[in-house]
Protein backbone atom coordinates (compact mmCIF):
# COMPACT_ATOMS: atom_id res chain seq x y z
CA UNK A 1 0.00 0.00 0.00
CA UNK A 2 1.41 3.36 -1.04
CA UNK A 3 2.23 5.74 1.71
CA UNK A 4 3.10 9.37 2.21
CA UNK A 5 3.76 10.36 5.80
CA UNK A 6 4.16 13.78 7.35
CA UNK A 7 6.11 14.37 10.52
CA UNK A 8 3.40 16.15 12.48
CA UNK A 9 -0.39 16.27 12.36
CA UNK A 10 -0.63 19.49 14.39
CA UNK A 11 1.89 22.21 15.10
CA UNK A 12 1.66 25.45 17.06
CA UNK A 13 4.44 27.97 16.51
CA UNK A 14 5.09 31.59 17.33
CA UNK A 15 5.58 34.41 14.85
CA UNK A 16 9.20 34.61 13.72
CA UNK A 17 10.05 30.99 14.49
CA UNK A 18 11.70 28.78 11.90
CA UNK A 19 9.43 25.85 11.09
CA UNK A 20 10.32 22.55 9.46
CA UNK A 21 7.69 20.28 7.93
CA UNK A 22 8.90 16.86 6.88
CA UNK A 23 7.43 14.48 4.32
CA UNK A 24 8.49 10.93 3.48
CA UNK A 25 7.17 8.66 0.71
CA UNK A 26 7.85 4.97 0.29
CA UNK A 27 6.85 4.59 -3.36
CA UNK A 28 10.19 5.56 -4.96
CA UNK A 29 8.47 8.49 -6.69
CA UNK A 30 10.59 11.10 -8.41
CA UNK A 31 8.06 13.93 -7.99
CA UNK A 32 7.19 15.46 -4.64
CA UNK A 33 5.01 18.46 -3.86
CA UNK A 34 4.08 20.81 -1.07
CA UNK A 35 0.62 22.43 -1.06
CA UNK A 36 -1.31 24.53 1.36
CA UNK A 37 -5.05 24.17 1.70
CA UNK A 38 -7.24 27.04 2.86
CA UNK A 39 -11.05 27.23 3.02
CA UNK A 40 -12.52 28.57 -0.19
CA UNK A 41 -9.16 28.54 -1.96
CA UNK A 42 -8.56 24.85 -2.53
CA UNK A 43 -5.04 23.50 -2.80
CA UNK A 44 -2.29 25.83 -3.91
CA UNK A 45 1.14 24.59 -4.92
CA UNK A 46 4.04 26.00 -2.93
CA UNK A 47 6.98 24.03 -4.34
CA UNK A 48 7.61 21.03 -6.55
CA UNK A 49 10.65 18.75 -6.74
CA UNK A 50 11.28 16.39 -9.65
CA UNK A 51 14.53 14.89 -8.40
CA UNK A 52 16.98 15.01 -5.53
CA UNK A 53 18.24 18.57 -5.02
CA UNK A 54 15.96 19.84 -7.82
CA UNK A 55 13.04 22.14 -7.16
CA UNK A 56 10.66 24.51 -8.87
CA UNK A 57 8.56 27.28 -7.44
CA UNK A 58 4.84 26.78 -7.43
CA UNK A 59 2.14 29.42 -7.31
CA UNK A 60 2.84 30.75 -3.80
CA UNK A 61 6.52 30.21 -2.87
CA UNK A 62 6.99 33.49 -0.99
CA UNK A 63 8.01 32.92 2.62
CA UNK A 64 8.85 29.26 2.03
CA UNK A 65 11.86 27.21 1.02
CA UNK A 66 12.34 23.48 0.45
CA UNK A 67 15.01 20.84 0.71
CA UNK A 68 15.30 17.47 -0.98
CA UNK A 69 18.52 15.69 -0.04
CA UNK A 70 17.13 12.17 -0.49
CA UNK A 71 14.61 10.85 -2.99
CA UNK A 72 12.10 9.79 -0.37
CA UNK A 73 12.18 12.95 1.75
CA UNK A 74 10.98 16.47 0.98
CA UNK A 75 11.07 19.22 3.58
CA UNK A 76 9.21 22.51 3.68
CA UNK A 77 10.80 25.34 5.64
CA UNK A 78 9.16 28.48 6.91
CA UNK A 79 12.16 30.73 7.54
CA UNK A 80 10.24 33.15 9.77
CA UNK A 81 6.69 32.04 10.42
CA UNK A 82 3.92 34.59 10.13
CA UNK A 83 0.27 34.42 11.11
CA UNK A 84 -0.84 34.34 7.45
CA UNK A 85 0.98 31.03 7.12
CA UNK A 86 -1.53 29.39 9.45
CA UNK A 87 -2.94 26.68 7.22
CA UNK A 88 -3.17 22.97 6.40
CA UNK A 89 -0.01 21.80 4.64
CA UNK A 90 -0.20 18.77 2.37
CA UNK A 91 2.65 16.81 0.88
CA UNK A 92 2.18 14.66 -2.22
CA UNK A 93 4.22 12.47 -4.53
CA UNK A 94 3.83 11.03 -8.02
CA UNK A 95 5.63 9.25 -10.81
CA UNK A 96 6.74 11.56 -13.63
CA UNK A 97 5.00 9.50 -16.33
CA UNK A 98 1.67 9.87 -14.50
CA UNK A 99 2.32 13.22 -12.90
CA UNK A 100 -1.37 14.01 -12.60
CA UNK A 101 -1.96 11.12 -10.22
CA UNK A 102 -0.69 12.40 -6.92
CA UNK A 103 -0.67 10.58 -3.60
CA UNK A 104 -1.18 12.78 -0.59
CA UNK A 105 -0.08 12.60 3.01
CA UNK A 106 -2.52 13.21 5.89
CA UNK A 107 -1.57 16.88 6.23
CA UNK A 108 -0.06 19.06 8.94
CA UNK A 109 -2.30 21.68 10.49
CA UNK A 110 -0.06 24.61 11.42
CA UNK A 111 -1.15 27.41 13.71
CA UNK A 112 1.12 30.45 13.95
CA UNK A 113 0.40 32.69 16.92
Task: Report which of 25, 6, 102 is spatially closest to residue 70, judged by C-alpha positions.
Answer: 25
Name which position in 33, 34, 64, 74 contacts other proteins (CB under 8 A).
33
Tell me, what DSSP letter sits at residue 9? S
What are the b/e assignments for 67-85, b being 16+ CB within 10 Å? bbeeebebbbebeebeeeb
d(CA 9, CA 94): 21
If one asks whether residue 60 binds other proteins (CB under 8 A), the answer comes out as no
If one asks whether residue 1 binds other proteins (CB under 8 A), the answer comes out as no
If one asks whether residue 43 binds other proteins (CB under 8 A), the answer comes out as yes
Kindly give, in sequence order, each residue whose CB lies less than 8 Å from that of residue 62, ignoring residues fewer than 6 positions away. Answer: none
Name which position in 12, 41, 54, 111 contacts other proteins (CB under 8 A).
41
Candidate segments 14-22, 61-69, 71-79, 87-95, binder of other proteins by CB under 8 A? 87-95
Closest separation between CB of residue 69 and other proteins, Å? 20
Closest separation between CB of residue 101 and other proteins, Å? 6
The residues of the shown chain that bind other proteins, judged by CB under 8 A, are: 4, 9, 31, 33, 39-45, 48, 50, 58, 90, 92, 94, 96, 99-107
Amino acid sequence: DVKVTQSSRYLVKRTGEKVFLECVQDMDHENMFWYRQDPGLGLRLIYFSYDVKMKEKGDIPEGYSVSREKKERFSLILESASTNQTSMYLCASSRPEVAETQYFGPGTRLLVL
